[in-house]
Amino acid sequence: MSTHPAVEAIDLAKHFGDNRAVDGVSFVVPTGSVLGLLGPNGAGKTTLVRMLTTLSVPTSGTGRVAGFDVREQPDAVRRSIGLTGQAATVDEILTGRENLRLIGSLYGLSRGYVRRASDDLLERFDLARAADRPAKSYSGGMRRRLDLAVSLLAAPPILFLDEPTTGLDPQSRSGLWDVLRELVQEGTTLVLTTQYLEEADHLADEIVVVDRGRVIAAGTPTQLKDRAGQASVVVTLTHAADLDAAAALMRDHSPAVHVETGSRRLTAQAGGLGDMTRIAAVFEHSGIELDDLGLARPSLDDVFLHLTGHRAESDTDTAATNTPEGAAS
Ligand SMILES: Nc1ncnc2c1ncn2[C@@H]1O[C@H](COP(=O)(O)OP(=O)(O)OP(=O)(O)O)[C@@H](O)[C@H]1O
Ligand SMILES: [Mg+2]
């Protein structure tokens, strides 16, 4: 096992004239883990990835990938990584298989290896049936998958993905998430950028939130959500007529009970699952019927609002609301 982290950014900066696109960013990505770089348009995500993949020279600071310095050992860095950029780079005229073959020869991989690896990748990315059709006939999702397959051809231990699922429909997106999870299970280290809170939440072990070239927060998805506020127990009654009685019952167990006027919902501040089960037990023999009872934590969108004062881009309306994480009745 290697002792160095897979990726390290130490006070990395990139200035374009007066524009401090990246302004002193540090993070560490342990081998085998997934880092999500989360931030809105223009935050500096692509610039960070370009520096770490040797495509752009840092103005200051240090980047290390697989233990190699991006400035001093760019060739060694390149041999350790795969990169799927923000824009699709497949050659439209070539077929899927030919795209793989082309990259294989550019990398100097043996033909036999490329043939076997291509079959495997085309199968894994659900492109086997389309493998011999020109890529111009592919859908957006298929192009994204081919892009990813190409970047995996040399079996790199560290993979950089710049907004891998932007522009994909929800089904292709979750298909790609499955593939990425498999890669991680096999030991690949992932650094991915995204504007989608949901994506970071699904995939990342650790999230670094960047805004205007700086890190504004970092932590696990749960840690970030905890910072945005407390969890609450949300109770939905079957009959609105029970609201007052239910509120009285809950006030014995939580200091802050909020009744949503005009609805059948009550929320109580909670420390966690224990509070939820206590409140569930109180209703058990109360004669009050419940439609639902669950624990709601702040979403990453709440986190973003909390940190930046503005909402992040979000792909679904539900990403902006609290998600109940447990239910009992
Ligand atoms: N080659 C360049 N020359 C000048 N300015 C640049 C260059 N590349 C990026 N920038 C600027 O750096 C800042 C960060 O851009 P970057 O592309 O890294 O953001 P991003 O987080 O990837 O955004 P998006 O989500 O839109 O892809 C922006 O203000 C951008 O205009
Ligand atoms: Mg970008």
39 lines ligand 1 (CB under 6 A): yes
What gap in Å lies between CA 139 and CA 133, rounded to an integer? 12
Which atom number of ligand 1 is nearest to the Cα of residue 43? 21
Q: Whose CA is nearest to atom 4 of ligand 1?
A: 16
Q: What is the pLDDT of residue 300?
A: 66
DSSP 20-57: EEEEEEEEEE-TT-EEEEE--TTSSHHHHHHHHTTSS-
Q: Whose CA is nearest to atom 24 of ligand 1?
A: 41
Nearest ligand (C-alpha, residue 21): 1
50 lines ligand 1 (CB under 6 A): no
- Among 12, 16, 166, say which to mutate for ligand 1: greatest number of ligand atoms within 8 Å of CB: 16
CATH 3.30.70.980 in the chain is located at: 230-297
With tokens 């592919």, the residue in question is 138
Tell me the CATH number for domain 230-297: 3.30.70.980
57 lines ligand 1 (CB under 6 A): no
Q: Whose CA is nearest to atom 18 of ligand 1?
A: 44
The CATH architecture of the domain made up of 7-80+156-225+307-328 is 3-Layer(aba) Sandwich (3.40)
Local confidence pLDDT in tens for the 329 residues of the chain = 557 999 999 999 999 999 999 999 999 999 999 999 998 889 999 999 999 999 999 999 999 999 999 999 999 999 999 998 877 788 999 999 999 999 999 888 999 999 999 999 999 888 999 999 999 999 888 898 899 899 888 889 999 999 988 877 787 788 888 888 988 999 999 999 998 878 888 899 999 999 999 999 999 988 887 776 677 889 999 999 999 999 999 888 777 888 877 889 988 887 767 788 888 888 988 999 999 998 887 766 667 777 776 665 543 333 333 333 333 33
| Ligand 1 center–CA 273 separation, angstroms | 42
Q: Rounded to two decimals, what is the model's pTM?
A: 0.76
137 lines ligand 1 (CB under 6 A): no
47 lines ligand 1 (CB under 6 A): yes
CATH 3.40.50.300 in the chain is located at: 7-80+156-225+307-328
Q: Whose CA is nearest to atom 17 of ligand 1?
A: 46
| Ligand 2 center–CA 301 separation, angstroms | 19
Question: H helices of the chain, where?
Answer: 45-52, 74-80, 96-106, 111-124, 140-152, 170-185, 197-203, 221-227, 243-251, 273-284, 300-308
Which residues, in sequence order, are CB contacts of 288 under 8 Å at separation 6+? 237, 242, 245, 246, 249
| Ligand 2 center–CA 44 separation, angstroms | 7
45 lines ligand 1 (CB under 6 A): yes
In terms of phi and psi (left: phi > 0; alpha: psi -120 to 50; beta: otherwise), the region of 17 is left
Which atom number of ligand 1 is nearest to the Cα of residue 44? 18
